[in-house]
Every structure is written in C-alpha cells, then in structure tokens.
Amino acid sequence: MKTRFICQNCGASSPKWLGRCPNCGAFNTMVEETIEKKTAKPEREPPRVISLSEVPMEQKDRTSTGLNEFDQVLGGGLVRGSLILLGGDPGIGKSTLMLQVSSPLAENGASILYVSGEESAHQVKLRARRLGIKGDNIKFLAETDIDAILDCAENLVPDLMVIDSIQTVFSSELSSAPGSVGQVRECGARIMRFAKKKGVTTVIIGHVTKFGMIAGPKTLEHIVDTVLYFEGDKTQQYRILRAIKNRFGSTNEIGVFEMSEFGLKEVANPSRLFISGSRNSGSAIITVIEGSRPLLVEVQALTSPSVFNYPQRVTSGVDYKRLAMLIAVLERRLGIGVARFDCFVNAVGGIRVSLNLPATSVSSLQSPLP
Ligand SMILES: Nc1ncnc2c1ncn2[C@@H]1O[C@H](COP(=O)(O)OP(=O)(O)OP(=O)(O)O)[C@@H](O)[C@H]1O
Ligand SMILES: [Mg+2]
C-alpha cells in the first residue's frame, strides 16, 4: 500500500518526508499515513437509522476487576468493548498494574490476551511469579506486527486485550519506525476499529515522552474512550492512577497504590504516605483535594543563609513559581526578609501539590525563619 506524508499543522501533503512543511513552514510536522486505494463505489444499502430506545441494553456492561482503586477510577469497572490508554513514565509500574488487573479477571473465567512487544514470555512469567499470579487464563503473545496481533486477537476474541506498549507495535504498510507519530496513530486506529467491531475491551499501554505527552501527540487521546495516567515518584513507593478523560465515568476519581516487591497494593488511607513520622519546625500539614478525595499532606520548608549572590529556591512536589510568589508575599506583606536565604520546600511522599495556602497556613511557614 502506498503512503504519503501529511503536515499536522496545515494538512499539506508530500510524497516524501520533509523536515519543514513547504506550505506553512512548520518544522518536523510531516507524519506518514497510508493512502487508501480508490475503488469504484460499492453498491450498498442505505444505513439504517434507529431510535435510541430501540438499542438493546447489555446486561453486564461493566466488569469489576477486583482492584477497587482501579475500578473506582474507571467509574465502576471495565466497560465491555471500551478502549483505554494507560500512560506513564518508564518503570512506573504500568505492566505490573495490568498484570494485576488481568489476574482476578482470569480467575473469574475471563480470557485475557496479553501482547508484549517489550518483554519476552519468560520476563513476564518472572513478574507474574513475583506477584503470585498463576496466569491460567492469561494468554501471552510476544509480537509487534499489528497484522499478526489483530489476526491472533480475531481468533481468540478475548474478554480483555492488553497491548504493552503501543510504541513497539508497527504496521508494515508504513516505512516509518515503530513509535513514530504515524505508526502510533495508524496502529491505534486499527486497534480501535477492532475493539469496537468485536466488543473486545482493550488497554493500550503508552510511554510518556520526556515532553510529558504520550508519543503520537494527543492523537491517541482523541480516539480512545478513557485516558489513564499512572504517576508517582519512582524513588517513593506511592503511585496515583488518574483519569484524564473518561467517556463512561467521572474524571474526578483517583486510585492510590503502594509499590512493593509483591506488586501494587491498594492504599485505603493515602494520607499516611504523605505525612512523615517526625514533627519538625517548618512543617505544616495541609489538606489537598485529589479527585473527590481529601488528603492530608505534610509540606516541609527550610531556609538557610545563602552563600551565593543569587539565593536558591528548590522545590519538590510544589510548583517553583508558586514558591517564588509565596516568598514575595512574605517579603512585601508580612515584612519577613527571605531575599538572602536559600529556600527549600518539599511535599512529603513525593506527591505534587498546588499550594493554595489560606492565610493561616502562610503564618505557619514563618517558623523556619531564623
Ligand atoms: N523486586 C522488586 N521489589 C520492589 N519493587 C519492584 C521489584 N521489581 C520491580 N519493582 C517495581 O516495579 C517497577 C517496574 O514495573 P513495571 O515493569 O511494571 O513498570 P513499567 O511502567 O511497565 O515499565 P516499562 O516502562 O519498562 O515498561 C520498578 O520501577 C519497581 O518500582
Ligand atoms: Mg512495562
């Protein structure tokens, strides 16, 4: 099949890849796509329009996975035939999460197809053994060619298919490398068509690029039903699962997990992860709302006389500009001079918070100052 390159900025096309679009002048916007052969219009019956009330309701349209935090984020479980994109930093635990979600489903008799282009069957088996997963009903396929993956899925028609990850899957019809925008878009669209046609619930795992976007900028987010982000600080144990988009539920819910040697554990009381055991001067406990859940988070602040001309402002889990603004408020409104002090602010547990501090909390930040 022939391919062409389309500019994502202005839609201009070119038979070969160009670094700069000749039409709009934008750099690096040409993305490869296949050209559908124009055939004579087939004779077909006009499409039938039906009233919404005639659409049959499926009895069991949501399946609980057994992981309550995961179900909660999805709005009550996996919706049959839905397409979910699970994004996250490399090594955050995406494959672990999907293996743990698959396990209770498989134990309840659901058939799972786990497609991995990144890891061998042996590697996945090792992880499953560490997590205590037997995997009787979990079928494994080490494949990266989208045609072979969809052929296999067509034969099996599993209840849940996991693609780990979309960046490794490729279509032989495109000449661009796996992971390129064109490949991600083409393979994502083909998976979507398959999932909707066969009613196979599908989870696509995607790595977040260093620019913070799932590669294939935003294109996959538009075609899938649900976008989940798995985030957290890799040096800390906690992980947060967040819905960015959900066609079948609210995007207000979050799921909190703790990573351990035996996999992800659900955290019923997340606040305990975000409060250190010791109480020092300069620490304040604040409430933040994550989704619809209030959390208690300890924020620690420290100042020390600066040895440089330009004092340092170092934050962890807090927006740097927010700290600069709070320091300006302390200087100008409260008359506390911090201009020649290095300031360090840390949210315990590695969580990210936005410091919308009420006046009472601002006063508690005075304590670290000498
Ligand atoms: N023995 C272990 N003890 C504790 N934690 C472990 C152990 N083995 C793995 N982990 C955790 O699991 C994480 C890797 O999980 P996983 O492979 O599921 O992540 P991923 O997001 O799929 O990564 P990738 O981007 O490589 O596909 C590690 O970063 C670590 O936090
Ligand atoms: Mg993985």
* Calpha distance 260→359 (Å, rounded): 39
pLDDT at res. 29: 85
- Nearest ligand to the CA atom of 99: 1
The DSSP line for 332-353 is HTS----TTEEEEEEEGGG--B
Cβ distance 331 to 339 under 8 Å? yes
* Calpha distance 193→198 (Å, rounded): 9
- 80 CA to centre of ligand 1 in angstroms: 28
Cβ distance 264 to 127 under 8 Å? no
The neighbouring-strand residues paired with 87 are 206, 229
Q: Token pair of 199, please? A: 């009613």
Cβ distance 73 to 255 under 8 Å? yes
The DSSP line for 210-235 is TTSSBTTTTHHHHHSSEEEEEE--TT
Give, using CA atoms, the residue closest to atom 9 of ligand 1. 261
Give, using CA atoms, the residue closest to atom 15 of ligand 1. 93
Pairing between β-strand 3-7 and β-strand 238-246 as defined by DSSP bridges: unpaired
- 86 CA to centre of ligand 2 in angstroms: 11
- 236 CA to centre of ligand 1 in angstroms: 12
pLDDT at res. 368: 43
Of the chain, the end-to-end C-alpha distance in Å amounts to 72
Q: Which atom of ligand 1 is nearest to the CA of 99?
A: 18
Amino acid at site 125: K
* Calpha distance 111→347 (Å, rounded): 42
- 260 CA to centre of ligand 1 in angstroms: 9
**pTM across the whole model:** 0.80
- Nearest ligand to the CA atom of 257: 1
Q: Is the dihedral of CA 126, 82, 266, 107 positive or negative?
A: negative
Query: Which residue of 94, 133, 208 sits with most ligand 1 atoms within 8 Å of its CB, as the best mutation to test the pocket?
Result: 94
- 91 CA to centre of ligand 2 in angstroms: 7
Give, using CA atoms, the residue closest to atom 29 of ligand 1. 91
- 159 CA to centre of ligand 2 in angstroms: 21
Q: Taking CB atoms and a 6 Å cutoff, what residues make up the pocket around ligand 1? A: 88, 90-96, 118, 207, 234, 259-261
Nearest CA among 175, 177, 167, 147 for reference residue 3:
175
Give, using CA atoms, the residue closest to atom 28 of ligand 1. 91
- 259 CA to centre of ligand 1 in angstroms: 8
Query: Which residue of 85, 86, 94, 96 sits with most ligand 1 atoms within 8 Å of its CB, as the best mutation to test the pocket?
Result: 96
**Which residues are CB-neighbours of 88 under 8 A, at least 6 positions away?**
94, 207, 208, 229, 230, 231
User: Is residue 265 classed exposed, middle or buried when 0-12, 13-18 and 19+ CB atoms within 10 A define those classes?
Assistant: middle
Nearest CA among 197, 201, 198, 175 for reference residue 186:
175
Q: Which atom of ligand 1 is nearest to the CA of 130?
A: 1
Give, using CA atoms, the residue closest to atom 23 of ligand 1. 91
Mean pLDDT by 10 residues, the chain (370 residues): 83 87 88 74 78 73 88 90 91 93 92 93 92 88 94 94 92 85 89 93 85 62 90 81 88 85 88 81 87 85 91 90 91 89 89 63 42
Nearest CA among 117, 210, 212, 223 for reference residue 167:
117
- 205 CA to centre of ligand 2 in angstroms: 8
